[in-house]
A and B are shown apart, each in its own frame.
Chain A
Amino acid sequence: MFRVSLSFLAVSLLCLGLADIEITTLDPWQELRRIAVGFLTPDVSVLYTFRGAMINTVTFAFCGIAVGVGAGSVLALFFQLTAVRLLCAFVRAIHEIFWAFLFLPVVGLNPMCGVLAIGIPYAGVFAKVYAEILQEADHTPLKGLPAHTGRLSRFFYGVLPVIYSDVKHYTSYRLECALRSSAILGFIGLPTLGFHLETAFREGLYSQTPAMLCGFYLLIASLRLWVKPKLVLAYVAVSFALVSTEINLRWDNITRFLGHDILPWPMRREGFLDGTGEISFPAEQVWEWVVHLVRTEALPGMWNTVVLTQVVLAGSGLFALLLFGTICRHFVSRRRFRGLSHYVLIVLRTTPEYILAYVFLQLWGPSMLPAILAILLHNGAILAYLTGQNANLVRLRIDSSRRKMNCYFFEVLPRVYGQFLAFLFYRWEVMMRESAILGVLGIYTIGFFIDSAIADDKVDKAVFLIFTTALLNMGVDSISQIIRRRLRVSAGTVLGRQQ
Chain B
Amino acid sequence: MFDLQRVSVAYGAARVLKGISLRIREGEKAVIIGPSGAGKSTLLKKLYELRQAQCAFIHQDYALVAQLSAFHNVYIGRLDQHSTIHNLLNLLKPQKAELSHITPIFRAIGMEEKMFARVSTLSGGQQQRVAVGRAIYRRSSIILGDEPVSAIDPHQAGGLLGLVKSSADTVILAMHDVQLALAAFPRVIGLREGRVFLDLPSEEVGEDTLADLYRRS
Contacts and interface: CB of A to CB of B under 8 A. Distances in A.
Direct A–B contact in complex, judged by CB atoms less than 8 Å apart: yes
B129 interface: no
Is chain A's binding surface mostly helix, strand, loop or mixed?
helix
A158 B52 contact: no
Contacts of B57: 143-144
Nearest to A158: B65
A157 B53 contact: no
B138 A146 contact: yes
A416 interface: no
A229 interface: no
Contact of A157 (B62, B72, B81, B138): B72
Contacts of B52: 147-148
Nearest to A165: B67
B63 interface: yes
A153 interface: yes
B77 A146 contact: yes
B79 A149 contact: yes
B98 interface: no
Given A143-B59, A147-B52, A147-B53, A162 B88 contact: no
A281 interface: no
B80 A146 contact: yes
A493 to B, nearest CB: 17
B80 A161 contact: no
B81 to A, nearest CB: 8
Given A157-B68, A164-B67, A144 B80 contact: no
Given A156-B87, A156-B91, A157-B72, A150 B80 contact: yes
Interface in B41-97: 52-53, 57, 59, 61-68, 72-73, 76-82, 84, 87-88, 91
A161 to B, nearest CB: 4
Interface residues of A, number: 21
A141 B65 contact: yes
B131 interface: yes
Contacts of B77: 146
Nearest to B81: A146
B134 interface: yes
A140 B62 CA distance: 9
A152 interface: yes
A290 B67 CA distance: 55
Contacts of A157: 65, 68, 72, 76, 79, 87, 91
Contacts of A158: 65, 76
Contacts of A164: 67
Given A149-B80, A157-B72, A157-B79, A144 B65 contact: yes
Interface string A146-177: 11111011101110011011000000000000
B63 A143 contact: yes
B57 to A, nearest CB: 8
A167 B81 CA distance: 29
B71 to A, nearest CB: 12
B67 A161 contact: yes
Nearest to B48: A147
Given A143-B59, A144-B62, A144-B131, A150 B67 contact: no
Instruction: Name which of A140, A141, A154, A164 has the most chain B CB atoms within 10 A of its CB.
Output: A141
A145 interface: yes
A154 B53 CA distance: 16
Nearest to A163: B67
A455 to B, nearest CB: 51
Contacts of A154: 79
A147 B57 CA distance: 10
Nearest to A159: B65
A161 B68 contact: yes
A146 B138 CA distance: 9
Contact of B53 (A140, A144, A145, A148): A148
Interface string B116-150: 00000000000000010010001000000000000
B84 A144 contact: no
A161 B88 contact: no
A146 B79 contact: yes
Contacts of B91: 156-157
A145 B62 CA distance: 11
Contacts of B134: 144
A145 B134 CA distance: 10
A148 B78 CA distance: 10
Interface in A57-92: none
Contacts of B80: 146-150, 153
B67 A162 contact: yes
A66 B79 CA distance: 30
A162 B65 contact: yes
Contact of A145 (B61, B66, B79, B81): B79
Contacts of B78: 146
A144 B76 contact: yes
16 contacts: A141-B63, A143-B63, A144-B73, A144-B134, A146-B81, A147-B52, A149-B80, A150-B79, A150-B80, A150-B84, A152-B88, A153-B80, A156-B87, A157-B91, A162-B66, A165-B67
Given A146-B80, A156-B91, 14 more contacts: A140-B61, A141-B64, A142-B63, A143-B57, A143-B59, A144-B63, A144-B64, A146-B78, A146-B81, A148-B52, A150-B84, A150-B87, A152-B87, A153-B80
4 cross-chain pairs, A with B, having the tightest CB-CB distances, nearest first: A144-B63, A161-B67, A146-B80, A143-B63
Interface of A: 140-150, 152-154, 156-158, 161-162, 164-165
Interface of B: 52-53, 57, 59, 61-68, 72-73, 76-82, 84, 87-88, 91, 131, 134, 138
